[in-house]
A and B are shown apart, each in its own frame.
Chain A
Amino acid sequence: MWRKYVWGYAFVLPAALIFLLFTWTPMVKGMIYSFYHVDFVKGDTFVGLDNYRAIFRDPVIGTAVKNTLYYMGLCIAVGFWVPILFAVAISELRRGQGIARVAAYLPYVVPVVVLYGLWRWLYDPVGPINALLTQFGLSPVNFMTDPKWSMASLVFMETWQQFGSAMLIYLAAILSIPRDWYEAAEIDGAGVWKRIRHITLPAIRGQIALLFVLQLIATSQGYQSQLAMLDGGPNNATLTYALNIVKNAFNRLDYGGASALGVLMFLVLGLLAALQQRISKRGEGAA
């Protein structure tokens, strides 16, 4: 009896140990640390709810939450439709589809830090983008240092970097739509826009919904480009919530406070996910 299952357990054991040690432990420990003042030298001291009280007194948190929502919104407004549009357009190319596909994916191959270095120069007050703007008689923009522009500039850069992979997913779905459907629609008198609206888009509805949710999940935790390009500046204009966690921990060495921020984030995101589940279930029930 025991011998029969020994391989099954033996194969799972290493993974179970690693998940326990490196995923479950930090998750649970994060909750514990949030009630402590963490000090690697003198040892941890229990501080009760002090970390949480400090968070609610900190005016930066409001800014960070607002910036995160702004960032998520911009990523949807600027970045979400771009890969869909290009996927539809590229699927219609009779020649050069391969080149367009490879070019769109190119930035993905280069390490992101290199792209950060490049874009810092492209966005420079005396860089090529401003040279182009002045050539057209427009006034130059301080893409990085003007708080009105800084977040939008980051979102534009990230869209450029990342739309390729989403585009490939949409493109694969669009190319697998049977050509006969368009044929039939055309015979029935549907124009080009109607064919896109009623055949192409519904056929990739699943991918659109999935990538939408994935993008929300990813952007709600975004901090890397904000950190690498601007360190949350100018004047906290690109300080996202996750970046605030990182800065609390590694700049101010307030590990307990950072853990508490993480717990709060988990509660909010978890609540949203649960709510979304409820709503989508109810929607199915109604239908």
Chain B
Amino acid sequence: MKNAERGILSPYDLRKPLNRIVYLLMCLVILAMVLSMVYPIAVAFFNGVKANVEVNTFPPHFLPESWNWDNYSKAWHYIDLPKYLRNTLFIFAGNMVMTVVVLGLASYSLSRLEWPYRKAAYGFFMATLFVPPATYLVPSFINLKELHVISTFWGLWLPAGANAFYLLLLKSFFDGLNPELFESARIDGASELRGFFQIAFPLSLPIFATLAIFVFSSAWNDWFWPTFVLSQDRYPLSTAIKLFVIDARRLDLNIRFALLTMVMVPPILIFLVFQRFIIRGLHLGGVKG
């Protein structure tokens, strides 16, 4: 018997009828799970091409009777999707630069450079992990107002550099790099800045890629905080969808679904293409997803 051939169950177990039935049931449950994941996405798409009367009938049917593709052109003209998508990407880019430069340099210094009171500085960063963010949500808002960064992108970009969890991930990654690389660079006369950007950064691309997934998914998902921090023309896609599509009073249901589909499909396609890398990256990040 080959080891690769078995998991918890061995081929021998599967010969017993009771085990077979349970295994079959288990496969059905997984199939049901897969369908329940795909169903809402499919239903959004089909509802987006139905006539509005058809979306509102009870009981709802899955496939549309008529295919109204012009829903999409109506939806496209309803809000300026490219503008809000651009804002989201802009927020993501700024947050990522902050993560690479500010957190990257700091964790490199904490991990690879020697200086007095380094432990204390590390504590200064890590202690913030123990305070739940919800407890200082409101003071954060007042603070941003007092610093006059509210309603600009800086109100999101600057605080993006204050993430102790990412700092921790980066530092533990740098800890694992071979110190001799940096020694030899130093002997060759490279400055510490070059050591970071030309040696540490390229070697740490996997962890930065993982962080990019995290940073992207938070820029992509966060809708609530930007409503307070940004002015209306700087809203990211999520916020715009929440306020102008989901909370809209007078918007036909089929157009609403067409809009939701347009927002949903591109990231799903990107995910399906890159899922191997993305899932591997998530494992590198340990637990947060």
Contacts and interface: CB of A to CB of B under 8 A. Distances in A.
A12 B110 contact: yes
Contacts of A182: 6-8, 10
Contacts of B275: 102, 105
Among A111, A195, A255, A263, the most chain B Cβ lie within 10 Å of the Cβ of A111
A210 B288 CA distance: 11
Interface residues of B, number: 104
Nearest to B239: A113
Contacts of A149: none
A102 B113 contact: no
A131 B30 contact: no
A42 to B, nearest CB: 15
Given A11-B106, A211-B287, A113 B8 contact: no
B242 A116 contact: yes
Interface in B101-160: 101-103, 105-106, 108-110, 113-116, 118, 121, 124-125, 128, 130-143, 145, 147, 158-159
B108 A18 contact: no
B224 to A, nearest CB: 6
A223 B59 CA distance: 32
A14 B105 contact: yes
A88 B221 CA distance: 29
Nearest to B29: A89
Contacts of B51: none
A255 B8 contact: no
A210 B256 CA distance: 39
A287 interface: no
A215 to B, nearest CB: 11
Given A22-B140, A25-B143, A118 B260 contact: yes
Interface string A216-245: 010011011001100000000000001001
Interface in A101-157: 101-122, 126-128, 131, 134-135
A264 to B, nearest CB: 9
A55 B168 CA distance: 37
Contacts of B9: 92, 192
A9 interface: yes
Nearest to B261: A114
Interface in A1-43: 5, 7-9, 11-12, 14-16, 18-19, 21-27, 29-30, 33, 38, 40
B23 interface: yes
B196 interface: yes
B178 interface: no
A64 interface: no
Interface string A39-65: 010000000000000000000000000
B154 to A, nearest CB: 11
A164 B278 CA distance: 13
Contact of B260 (A40, A99, A114, A263): A114
A273 interface: yes
Contact of A92 (B4, B23, B114, B223): B23
A179 B4 contact: yes
Nearest to B1: A183
The 9 closest A-B pairs by CB, nearest first: A165-B289, A15-B106, A131-B59, A8-B115, A11-B109, A30-B139, A221-B134, A8-B113, A7-B192
Interface of A: 5, 7-9, 11-12, 14-16, 18-19, 21-27, 29-30, 33, 38, 40, 86, 88-93, 99-122, 126-128, 131, 134-135, 160, 164-166, 168-169, 172, 179-180, 182-183, 186, 192, 195-196, 199-200, 207, 210-211, 214, 217, 220-221, 223-224, 227-228, 242, 245-246, 248-250, 255, 258-259, 262-263, 265-266, 269-270, 273
Given A88-B8, A200-B8, 6 more contacts: A111-B238, A118-B40, A221-B135, A249-B137, A255-B142, A273-B130
